[in-house]
Amino acid sequence: MEAYKPAAIFDMDGTLINNTPYHFKAWQQMFELHNLPGLTHKTYLDEISGVPVAYTIKKFFGSQVKDQFIRQLSEEKQSLYEQAFKPYLKPINGLENVLAQLKSNGFKIALATSSNQSDIDFIFEGIPIKQYFDALITGNMVNEPKPSPQIFLKAANKLNANPNQCVVFEDSLAGLRAGRSAGMKVAGITTSHPAAVIAKLADMVINDYTKVTPGRLAELFEQTQA
Ligand SMILES: O=P(O)(O)OC[C@H]1O[C@@H](O)[C@H](O)[C@@H](O)[C@@H]1O
């Protein structure tokens, strides 16, 4: 029988850090500054959360916008978000411990975020966890955004893992759906949505990482084989 080679793939925003309210606020400010109709929390969660910035800009500002405009708006939004979130930048409870435990139990670990490299750098400057990740996949390394499974399949490929041996940690609806369509186990974290919503799209619901252990993740795979 083929040896069990587990892999864990982490989303970043809302999954490593609880920054969803700050992204939402920055997008709201952008909509206001650029005279778009007010952005509701529901529209943010349903259509923007977990999706690369360029897709969001094209969706709400018009698909014909120029690359230069997309770059300018992305920087503007990133700057608003960083200024607001920086004083509160900290890992979700138990994150560093679980990363260390997974590593010492032979899990390969990837980060698969729709954000870009500069956003990852901003997070890793505040939380020293970069060393745990064997692969980093950003939104501009794929041509289909979440909920397409592409980003997670690419991460699995980089880790040399079969999709059915991967567990994805996610908070956004787009990301939870992407994990599902990739044929992976999904651990949904309740930073952006209530547990009842997450439970419909995930194999396991968590509030933070304090109760996540390599053994508990291995059980997810055993349930399928039983
Ligand atoms: O790390 P994730 O969840 O894939 O996040 C990417 C996106 O998440 C959203 O919540 C942000 O508003 C976006 O601007 C951001 O790019």
Element at 7 (helix H, strand E): strand 7-10
My answer on whether omega of the bond before 147 falls inside 30° of 0, hence cis, is: yes
Q: How far is the CA of 30 from the centre of ligand 1 (A)?
A: 15
Under the banding of pLDDT at 50, 70 and 90, the label for residue 226 is: very low
From atom 8 of ligand 1, which residue's Cα is the shortest distance away?
50
12 lines ligand 1 (CB under 6 A): yes
The answer, yes or no, to whether residue 136 has pLDDT greater than 60, is: yes
74 lines ligand 1 (CB under 6 A): no
Q: How far is the CA of 218 from the centre of ligand 1 (A)?
A: 28
Residue pair 207/189 in contact (Cβ under 8 Å)? The answer is yes
* Euclidean distance between CA atoms 204 and 199, whole angstroms: 7
* Euclidean distance between CA atoms 62 and 162, whole angstroms: 38
* Euclidean distance between CA atoms 4 and 162, whole angstroms: 10
50 lines ligand 1 (CB under 6 A): yes
In the chain the domains, ranked by start, together with CATH numbers, are 7-18+92-225 (3.40.50.1000), 20-87 (1.10.150.240)
At 58-112, the pLDDT tens digits run 999 998 999 999 999 999 999 999 999 999 999 999 999 999 999 999 999 999 9
The ipTM (two decimal places) reads 0.89
- State residue 224's pLDDT score: 57
Q: How far is the CA of 219 from the centre of ligand 1 (A)?
A: 29
Under the banding of pLDDT at 50, 70 and 90, the label for residue 35 is: very high
Q: How far is the CA of 12 from the centre of ligand 1 (A)?
A: 8
Residue pair 204/44 in contact (Cβ under 8 Å)? The answer is no
* Euclidean distance between CA atoms 154 and 169, whole angstroms: 15
Under the banding of pLDDT at 50, 70 and 90, the label for residue 4 is: low
